Chain A
């Protein structure tokens, strides 16, 4: 009996491998990207940095610091002199308003990792070696010396001055949403094949 089940599982695996083509994998990775980006923009992050599907829970992103709130409102800006731990940060009142993304608000107090929106917009979903992948490219950030990857790492890990804001990955309940979506798409495809 155990042998029968083993064969059945192998058959099912082969069947699904044939069924889930590149187009479907693209759809699944795009759905993963969408869940992660929309959730982050709505102000929720993960309980810990995992970089994978599952293994964490949803957690509101930490509040923005008072000074950063003023920066977002165009009431304060900084420039730095020098680099490293000896650098001097000089505040000033800017003459123009910063260009915030339309997917955030200048007066919001909770972080949604969106200022220009460039970091979250840069996240891409693709298929490589028959696997769906969601990744942050190593491109430069338009308003920073850091690359998108470096900026994401900094946000995920935090520093002694910046609270960590893990966001890259899916929480357990999001993994369930994704799983249910994938299963339903596969069932729909099987049904279409039966009807042919």
Chain B
């Protein structure tokens, strides 16, 4: 039986809150917001969008390292020409894997995951650098964000939540 994978990126909102502010008063106030469904939806979606943006447009992994370039054999392949790809790796052929990313929330945590076994398998291959039974490739761990980015998105989301700028979660 084929092994099933489920690569995920887990975010503890209380930890992010702790690292985002020094003031105990602000933390206390914020704690009452961050458990709400709307805030978690807003923040989770923004984290997903930022992961996609870093991978596709900035071509960097979760640690900020370059995703590298494609191998000569892949560049010479028909599929590479058909999809009109350029050299920097963006982990996008059909686009299905990155478009399947979504955020699921628990009480004070958010899990970023992929939908569909095929996409989970593809992501696992990129993250571990193991492709199929014998294939090896550069590890490209795209699933996550550095702490600095998590905090910055968290602060922006908290501000927009307090201002009632929530239209994007309805889309």
Interface residues of A (CB under 8 A from B): 8, 12, 15-16, 35, 38-39, 41-42, 102-105, 173-174, 176-177, 180-181, 183-184, 186-188, 190-191, 194
B79, B82, B100 interface centre (most CB from chain A within 10 Å): B82
Chain B positions 18 through 37: 1 when the CB is less than 8 Å from some CB of chain A, otherwise 0: 00000000000000000000
A103 CB contact (under 8 Å) in B46, B49, B78, B160: B78
Q: Which residues does chain A contribute within 8 Å of B170, judged by CB atoms?
A: 8, 12
Identify the 5 closest CB pairs spanning chains A and B, nearest first: A180-B99, A41-B82, A187-B168, A190-B168, A177-B99
Q: Are A194 and B99 interface neighbours, CB within 8 A?
A: no
**Complex-state Cα separation, A168 to B150, whole angstroms:** 41
Say whether B45 faces chain A, with CB atoms less than 8 Å apart: yes
**Complex-state Cα separation, A35 to B116, whole angstroms:** 19
Q: Are A194 and B171 interface neighbours, CB within 8 A?
A: no
Secondary structure of the B contact surface, majority rule: helix
B49 CB contact (under 8 Å) in A35, A187, A194: A187
**Complex-state Cα separation, A68 to B160, whole angstroms:** 61
B46, B83, B94, B160 interface centre (most CB from chain A within 10 Å): B94
B167 CB contact (under 8 Å) in A15, A173, A176, A177: A15
Closest-by-CB residue of A relative to B115 is A176
**Complex-state Cα separation, A39 to B116, whole angstroms:** 19
A112 to B: closest C-beta gap in Å: 8
Instruction: With A38-B83, A42-B79, A103-B78 as known contacts, state yes or no: A187 contacts B45, CB within 8 Å.
Output: yes
Say whether B95 faces chain A, with CB atoms less than 8 Å apart: yes
Q: Are A190 and B167 interface neighbours, CB within 8 A?
A: yes
Q: Are A103 and B82 interface neighbours, CB within 8 A?
A: yes
**Complex-state Cα separation, A158 to B32, whole angstroms:** 62
Q: In the complex, which residues 136-164 of chain B have their Cβ closer than 8 Å to any Cβ of chain A?
A: 160
Q: Are B171 and A190 interface neighbours, CB within 8 A?
A: yes
Say whether B104 faces chain A, with CB atoms less than 8 Å apart: no
**Complex-state Cα separation, A173 to B100, whole angstroms:** 10
A15, A180, A181 interface centre (most CB from chain B within 10 Å): A180
**Complex-state Cα separation, A170 to B168, whole angstroms:** 26
Q: Are B78 and A184 interface neighbours, CB within 8 A?
A: no
**Complex-state Cα separation, A103 to B85, whole angstroms:** 13
Closest-by-CB residue of B relative to A31 is B95
Say whether B131 faces chain A, with CB atoms less than 8 Å apart: no
**Complex-state Cα separation, A190 to B84, whole angstroms:** 30
Q: Are A180 and B100 interface neighbours, CB within 8 A?
A: yes
**Complex-state Cα separation, A187 to B83, whole angstroms:** 26
Q: In the complex, which residues 25-75 of chain B have their Cβ closer than 8 Å to any Cβ of chain A?
A: 45-46, 49, 52
Chain B positions 109 through 126: 1 when the CB is less than 8 Å from some CB of chain A, otherwise 0: 000000010000000000
**Complex-state Cα separation, A180 to B116, whole angstroms:** 14
